[in-house]
Amino acid sequence: MRKDLRNLKYVFNPKSIAVIGASENPDKLGNVILKNLVDGGYEGKIYPVNPKYEELLGHKCYPKVGSIKKHVDLAIFAVPAPIIPKLAEECGKNGVKGIVVLSAGFGETGKTKLEEKLGKIVLKHGMAMIGPNCLGVMNPEKRVDSIFFPFYKSGRPRVGEISLITQSGAVGTCIADLASYYNVGFSKFVSYGNATTISESDLLEHLGKDSKTKQILLYLEGTKDGKKLLGALEKVNPKKPVIALKAGKSRAAGEAAKSHTGNLAGNYLAYQAAFRESKVIEVDSVVELFYVANMFSQARPKGKRVGVLTDGGGLGVLTADAIEECGMELAEFSKKTSKKLRKSLPHYVNITNPLDIVADSGTDAYRKAIRAMMEDSSIDSIVVIVLFQAPAVDSRIIDVLVKESDRRKKPVVVVAVGGEYTKENRRVLDSYGVPTYGSPDAAIKTLKKFTEYSLFHKKKK
């Protein structure tokens, strides 16, 4: 393995960080990054580097990296592109293991020679480089954060098991901000930009071996090596689900991607074939990326048969339509389950699937119905539709759904359609690992992707 790839561990888990271009000016990236590290509680050593200052935010400021007499694991660059090769050379000579180059102004703007020069320096010294033209990295557990957006404008995810690899810093920031809003946890975040020396494929393989990462989200515009990408996906995806969002599908979008990071978007059909061959889960939007990621908090389904529980008949019918349209199956209750439901539910409830327990049913009816479906081997997944607007439904339903989901016998998926009150209850359920969806279509489409992934890898085992 190349030395720079071995040194990726210092990028995600550095014990010391130098911020090159640190500043007292709040409008400068070097100030935001330094402030985020200090305010975010990074426990390692922080070394601001700028010859203009003696001290910044309570930390001694150094004129250059060579002036720091202690070892530096990671250097974050927030300086103009033309001077970066010289500074990178200095970092290499002083034993820095990894660098994050946030600055734009390289190959994506036509300055390919400058980027090539930087790449040669980095490889010569075996430094792991993220970028240039990127947001860099984040490790919530270690409080490592090179994202140059202030905390009050852009939320940071809590510690979790999802890692995000993104070619676009803007898209990555939006995803991280949404993860914070919905209380979705991240293990690692990396925005890799131009991928001069370390590509999305290298990052996939690195995070594929990371014990703290259980699933990987991938935002991709283009790649420099399609064969290498396919190999990485085929290696990683069987062990950890990879959920991919491919941008640059149209000709116009492909041109935009080229000017954005300097990578060719390529023929979308080729990417689609690669995803299909490696059984990567492809999604069509940022929202769907979260929809699928949340589903992996659940037990793996053993088949396509779905049981539907609802307190609103119309939503049950819409869900049944979605199940048929997606190629899933509406399960038939076993005789034992039908008898159990008949005995435990009000006499006016029709014991069919979808099971409509009507709007005046309370939490206890939900609990009994879900438990009966859980014990029925003819049902592989359970979709629970909750009308949070109904008077008989209160906060106890959340406790029921969380407890049944935590039994890990089969997936429990919640559909809840409505405004702010409903969305707030959905946020609570999502934070406890119960995936929720704002429409039957979204829920069933996501469940299908999850089921297909689970059944394929079950067969391979």
Give the start-to-end residue ranges of the domains of the chain. Answer: 1-134, 154-296, 305-460
The H or E element containing residue 19 is strand 16-20
The predicted structure's pLDDT at residue 359: 74
How many residues are recorded in the chain? 461
The one-character DSSP state at 386 is -
Are 357 and 369 contacting, i.e. CB atoms less than 8 angstroms apart? yes
Are 58 and 32 contacting, i.e. CB atoms less than 8 angstroms apart? no
pTM of the model: 0.91
What letter represents residue 283's amino acid? Answer: V
Are 219 and 166 contacting, i.e. CB atoms less than 8 angstroms apart? yes
| Fold match, 1-134 / 305-460 | yes
The predicted structure's pLDDT at residue 461: 58
What is the CATH code for 1-134?
3.40.50.720
Distance CA 336, CA 333 (A): 8
Helices within 55-168 (DSSP H only): 84-93, 112-125
From residue 413, alpha-carbon distances to 121, 261, 294, 333, 461 in Å are 51, 38, 10, 18, 26
C-alpha dihedral, 50 to 51 to 55 to 57, nearest 10°:
-20
Are 132 and 196 contacting, i.e. CB atoms less than 8 angstroms apart? yes
The predicted structure's pLDDT at residue 266: 63
Q: Which two tokens stand for residue 419?
A: 């405004």
Distance CA 89, CA 94 (A): 9
Are 403 and 388 contacting, i.e. CB atoms less than 8 angstroms apart? no
Region of 301 (left: φ > 0; alpha: ψ -120 to 50; beta: rest) is beta
Distance CA 456, CA 236 (A): 15
The one-character DSSP state at 81 is G
The predicted structure's pLDDT at residue 253: 47
Tell the CATH superfamily of the 154-296 domain: Succinyl-CoA synthetase domains (3.40.50.261)
Domain 305-460 classified CATH 3.40.50.2000? no
From residue 207, alpha-carbon distances to 3, 159, 428, 434 in Å are 17, 16, 29, 25
What does each of the 461 residues of the chain score in pLDDT, given as a tens digit?
A: 899 999 999 999 999 999 999 999 999 999 999 999 999 999 999 999 999 999 999 999 999 999 999 999 999 999 999 999 999 999 999 999 999 999 999 999 999 999 999 999 999 999 999 999 999 999 999 999 999 999 999 999 999 999 999 999 999 999 999 999 888 999 999 999 999 999 999 999 999 999 999 999 999 999 999 999 999 999 999 999 999 999 987 555 455 544 444 455 568 888 998 899 889 999 999 999 999 999 999 999 999 999 999 998 999 999 999 999 999 999 999 999 999 999 999 888 999 999 999 877 789 999 999 999 999 999 999 999 999 998 888 889 999 999 999 988 999 999 999 999 999 999 999 989 999 999 999 999 999 999 999 998 876 65
Distance CA 241, CA 456 (A): 12
